[in-house]
Amino acid sequence: MLIECLPTGMIDSNCYIVYDNNEGIIIDAGVDTSEVLNVLNEKKINIKYIVLTHIHIDHICHVDELREKTGAKVLVHKNDSEKLLDPMLNGSGFFGQKTSFKPADRVLEDNDEISAGGINFKIIHTPGHSSGSICIKGENNLFTGDTLFKMGRGRTDLGDGNERDILSSIKKRLMTFDDETVVYPGHGDSTTIGAEKVFY
Ligand SMILES: [Zn+2]
Ligand SMILES: [Zn+2]
């Protein structure tokens, strides 16, 4: 399993390309499509799914173009799927863009599994930063969106964010993984579950 991190998204969001055997998934779509396509072409990667960790604008602003150019299916948790269509709920209204995105191709629920390139990914519903925030686990790697950062966690004062929920998600769902599990957040550097455990 190979991981490319493009850290150049809107508000410095990370976009991850996770792949093996020339097939993979993209996690979040805040990076310019041309930059993503360059990597895909160079490494000859076919994208099966674009998985959104949640629907804030800095993680989804290029999703429709990326879907069109790659032919991949867009996946989002069912609690966040309606918000894709609503400029106030997806945050684009705050940036004066008023963007309504196309609906997801498939909605996800807790414990769903998807596979690409021979890698199995598990969807972990971690509400708190938004009610439909998810983390995605593939092998020993955990993609946490804006739920868990290196030495921090996502804000809960936007939309339907909830501080009690994010703490519960982190403690009950994420901190149960092995200390060696590598955490790839939606912003900033990677870390490990072991390193973050001291804060919870
Ligand atoms: Zn966010
Ligand atoms: Zn973000």
Ligand nearest to the CA of residue 155, numbered in listed order? 1
Strand arrangement of the beta sheet that strand 134-138 belongs to: 113-116, 119-125, 134-138, 141-145, 182-185, 191-192
CA of 11 to the centre of ligand 2 (A): 7
CA of 59 to the centre of ligand 2 (A): 6
CA of 118 to the centre of ligand 1 (A): 29
User: In whole angstroms, how far apart are CA 14 and each of 32, 35, 58, 78, 178?
Assistant: 11, 12, 9, 22, 23
The pLDDT, as a whole number, for residue 73 is: 98
Q: 111 is written with which tokens? A: 């414990």
CA of 153 to the centre of ligand 1 (A): 10
For each of the domains in the chain, give its residue range(s) and CATH number, in order of start: 2-197 (3.60.15.10)
CA of 21 to the centre of ligand 1 (A): 31
CA of 118 to the centre of ligand 2 (A): 29
Decide if pLDDT at 198 tops 90.
yes
Q: Within 75-175, where are the H helices?
A: 78-81, 163-169
The pLDDT, as a whole number, for residue 189 is: 98
Q: Where are the beta strands (DSSP E) in 131-179?
A: 134-138, 141-145, 148-149, 152-153
Of the pLDDT bands very low, low, confident and very high (cuts 50, 70, 90), residue 188 is very high
CA of 13 to the centre of ligand 2 (A): 6
DSSP, collapsed to helix, strand or coil, labels residue 85 as helix
Q: What pTM, to 2 d.p., does this model score? A: 0.97
CA of 46 to the centre of ligand 2 (A): 25
Q: 104 is written with which tokens? A: 């997801």
Give 35-71 pLDDT, tens digit per residue: 999 999 999 999 999 999 999 999 999 999 999 999 9
Total residues belonging to the chain = 200
Ligand nearest to the CA of residue 58, numbered in listed order? 2
Q: 37 is written with which tokens? A: 């396509």
CA of 185 to the centre of ligand 2 (A): 9
Give 123-180 pLDDT, tens digit per residue: 999 999 999 999 999 999 999 999 999 999 999 998 899 999 999 999 999 999 999 9
The pLDDT, as a whole number, for residue 98 is: 77
CA of 130 to the centre of ligand 1 (A): 7
Decide if pLDDT at 95 tops 80.
no
Decide if pLDDT at 93 tops 90.
no
Of the pLDDT bands very low, low, confident and very high (cuts 50, 70, 90), residue 99 is confident
Residue 11 CA to residue 187 CA, distance in Å, equals 8
CA of 70 to the centre of ligand 2 (A): 23
In the chain, what percentage of residues exceed pLDDT 90?
Answer: 92
